[in-house]
Amino acid sequence: MSILVWTYIIVGATFALYMSIAWMSRVKDTKGFYVAGGGVPPLANGMATAADWMSAASFISMAGIISFAGYGGAVYLMGWTGGFVLLALCLAPYLRKFGKFTVPDFVGDRYYSNTARIVALVCAIFASLTYVAGQMRGVGIVFSRFLEVDVNTGVIIGMAIVFFYAGLGGMKGITWTQVAQYCVLILAFLIPAVAISMKITGNPIPQLGFGSAITEGPHAGRFLLETLDHLHRDLGFSEYTSAFGAGNKSMLDVLAITMALMVGTAGLPHVIVRFYTVPTVRGARWSAGWALLFIAILYTAAPAVSVFARYNMIESISGVAYEQAPSWFKNWEKTGLLAWVDKTGDGIIQYRAGEAFKGKPEFIGEVGDWGQRMVKNPPTDTPNELYVDADIMVLANPEIANLPAWVVALIAAGALAAALSTASGLLLVIASSISHDLYYRVINRKATERQRLRLGRIMIGIAVVIAGYFGINPPGFVAQVVALAFGLAASSFFPILILGIFSKRVNREGAIAGMLSGIGFTIFYIVQTKFLGVAPWFMGISPEGIGAVGMCINFAVTFAVSHVTPPPPQEIRDLVESVRTPRGAGAAVDH
């Protein structure tokens, strides 16, 4: 059977499974809608947390960026992995003991202020919308290739599916759907990785295979990473394993991005809320441990997948005549995420360092000589003739390696599972921020369960539409878009959460001023550098890493303002004392 038929079968079966779970888990009360009734077992919650955490950025884009950037691309791997450890150790059990539904709920009560609650709510919406836009782009990319529809149509299909099961089942439906989605995505990631590792190095363990020697072909006997360094030098790229040299990010920028991703992880509201779905504080700790294990399985395999994809791509198309280009090349060319322009007129695909042409490909007409697609933007004077979107590498990897059609379809299902699982969690954060934190806690304390559920589902619908727009018109690769969301979370939530738990002196005035200054600076810098064409002006730090600077501003402003304004009331200081020494077991105390 063809890839298309297998894709319809496997993706259709997984979608039917997700919707069946959502229908069976549909809820009628707000506790089930927001925190799944607080009764999810730690093992299942760990699996759901891993699926919630491993988005399209982890599944599709992280290995894609490492595939092109080499050592420098590992900043995403280091930042996200370290961030989850930070979350598990420093925040999860404490926030679970506090026992509230959402992060704005914690901020509002800990800082005894509805103003602080609303500021946290706005920050949560900004970060979540930015994050979910990256997931929608990932969904569009998968659909555009494997179901042979355009990216925009793919985004719209994804919007409809995620609205159905997020709106119907709330956190309860999302949790059990995410358990299924984790199983799908981890199998989809590992099966091709194991097969390709065996094919290239003879080692069935990908984590070991990418450090092994090549067994066949012209490079047989040479270590894979050594071969990639050699190929990169020949093509004019910086060495694959080099760091901080020419063509790579500076050490300061790498440090800033890593820090922003780490603390952004610990401040992401859709991950934090997962620790409210277990019955006890001890369950929250076990959930974090299980989640870290489940995440590590994919994250340790990602560098291997990136190396395999890079090696196979270079070997399969560099210097090959377009007429003899492999089928995967022609398939991905149809999506607009891969393009070739023949600068020399010889019909040979020349893949070298540098841009193939200015901007992204905008096709006009059909095909020209040698099947080349015509590009509106004139080519630059670089020798490179090939444009490859980094987001296609993981998805194209099984095709490049000539694996069976069902494996190619399986990785499509895995990518969709990763994107949709995270998107659903983010949409619930947006819905709960409006319906619970704003409407119920601030505007109408007498709102009924039915009114709050209805408003929550309406807000999910609105958020889906906004996220879909940005999925169709993304400001960067999936991982880059997601990195911006982490920067917003790092500059707004992390300092306030940490200080709210471990400092009895920080007050509402400091928290409000810190959040506004941190996220304000970060948004200002991102808008300037991403949308207004301004070069990174703060010590050369890229917009993906500026959240680390925003975090420092937040900490500084919070401390300064808190120490020139009155301390919190005694009952708040007593609350902090009780929250930061959580019991190892037992029911959470709801203050």
Using 50, 70 and 90 to split pLDDT, how confident is the model at 101? low
Q: What is the pLDDT of residue 38?
A: 60
Residue among 357, 393, 338 at smallest CA distance from 70:
393
Residue of higher predicted confidence among 528 and 470: 528
Average pLDDT of span 419-437:
77
Give DSSP secondary structure letters for 339-401. EE--SSSS-B----SS-SSSSS--EEEEE-GGGPEEESSPP-SSS--EEE-GGGHHHHHHHHT
| pLDDT over 70 (residue 544) | yes
Output 91 or 501, whichever has higher pLDDT. Answer: 501
Q: At 240, give phi and psi (nearest 5°).
A: -60, -35
- The ranges assigned to domains in the chain are 3-295+402-472, 314-398
Q: Which of 71-80, 97-106, 186-195, 545-554 has the lowest mean pLDDT?
A: 97-106
Mean pLDDT of the chain: 81
pTM of the model: 0.79
**181 versus 140: which is more confidently predicted?**
181
Beta strand spans in 88-217 (E): none
Q: Quick: pLDDT tens for 284-342.
A: 778 888 888 898 898 899 999 999 999 999 988 888 888 888 988 888 887 777 888 88
| For residues 218-222, average pLDDT | 88
- In tens, the pLDDT along 107-163 reads 888 898 888 888 888 877 877 777 777 777 777 777 777 777 777 787 888 788 777
Q: Which of 283-292, 353-362, 405-414 has the highest mean pLDDT?
A: 405-414
CA distance 432 to 426: 10
Q: Higher model confidence: residue 362 or residue 237?
A: 237
Checking phi first, is residue 202 left (phi over 0); if not, alpha (psi -120 to 50) or beta?
A: left
241 within 8 A of 229, measured Cβ to Cβ: yes
234: Cβ contacts below 8 Å, ≥ 6 apart: none
Q: d(Cα 144, Cα 150) in Å, to the nearest integer?
A: 5
